[in-house]
Structure 1
Amino acid sequence: MRAVIRREVALDVPADVAWAYVTDWPRQGEWVPFTRVEHVDPADPAAGVGGRLRAWSGLGPVGFWDPMTITSWERRADGGGRCEVLHTGKVVRGEGEFEVVAEGDGRSRFLWAELAVVPFGAVGAVAFRLLRPLLERVIDGGLATLKERVESG
């Protein structure tokens, strides 16, 4: 089963400020719940196609690595941009993307989407359907934290 989750948040900062914050991979741990992001190769800033990252998702030592490769990277003259990644781990597989859209007057919008292959067959599909509202609430909480942090500078 493949599942799509899309969430977004309005930001009272210019698009270039939002883009700089969301593409500062290690800082994603400040706003992505239960996640720590790092570069696979410390010499690679992962700021373009082919960049590699990995995220530890979990609580303390209980969790899993989510390796990903940037497959699309688009910057716009208005400060916004779009990034797509391919998740290649054992637990999280599929595509992810986020976009920062300039909205004028020093405002922007952050959009996040995941097209994931739900693991564990039929059992995973049922579990995902049951847990989806909770997962969306957790993501929305992370986006609220993103908004608070990026707007406070």
Structure 2
Amino acid sequence: MARFVLTRRSPLPAEACWQRLTDWPRHGDRVPFTRVRVVGAGGGRVGDTVLARTRFGPLVLDDPMELVELTAPAAGHDGVCRLVKRGRVVRGWAVLTVREPGPGRGTEVIWAEEISVAHLPRAADPLLALSGRAVFGRVLAHLLA
């Protein structure tokens, strides 16, 4: 499995970063050929599924992710969103954390992910992690802008 971690700082308050980070359809804005939608109650509850569908001509790849933890940031605790990838082709997990490191220091957003793609050899993990950092780094920059 390929692993990567992204950390970004934002001048926005934690609540605003959280709202942007959990605006699931906007995640697809910066992922080529991909649309993201929510299956369930709107993406705001544990048990909802976030579905990223990548379409390139006749080829379609679904990446369904179940929300297994969703705790918004509040005074005294970080915001944490845990997703488990439940697809036939794409497996793994992601943990999105929103925290305020201290007064006047803005907000820190951490995106940690472990991903595997069916039939892709382990030797490809470094390239998969590099691609994940590049793509999701663009997503984070877009969401926090």
- SS in structure 2 of the partner of residue 69 of structure 1: strand
Summarize the alignment of residues 1-153 of structure 1 with structure 2, pairs less than 5 Å apart.
2-31=1-30, 33-34=31-32, 35-41=34-40, 44-59=41-56, 62-78=59-75, 80-103=78-101, 104-105=103-104, 107-120=106-119, 123-148=120-145
Equivalent residue pairs, number: 142
The answer as to whether partners of 2:20 and 2:144 remain within 8 angstroms in 1 is: no
What are the ranges of 5 or more consecutive residues in structure 1 without an aligned counterpart? 149-153
Whole-Å separation in 1 of the counterparts to 2:125 and 2:131: 10
CA contact (8 A) 1:82 1:100 kept: yes
The change in CA–CA distance for 1:141 and 1:75 in structure 2 (over 3 A counts) is: closer
Name which of structure 1's ranges 48-57 and 72-81 shifts more when overlaid on structure 2: 72-81
Unpaired segments of 5 or more residues in structure 2?
A: none
Among all aligned residue pairs of Structure 1 and Structure 2, give the percentage whose two residues are the same amino acid. 30
1:54 touches 1:65 (CA, 8 Å); kept in 2? yes
TM-score under structure 1 normalisation?
A: 0.78
Question: How far off its partner does 1:88 sit?
Answer: 0.6
For 1:135 and 1:116, the matched residues in 2 are separated by: 9
Q: Aligned-pair distance for 1:66? A: 0.5
Residue identity opposite 1:88 in structure 2: R
Determine the C-alpha separation between the residues in 2 that align with 1:63 and 1:140. Answer: 23
In the superposition, the TM-score normalised over structure 2's length comes to 0.82
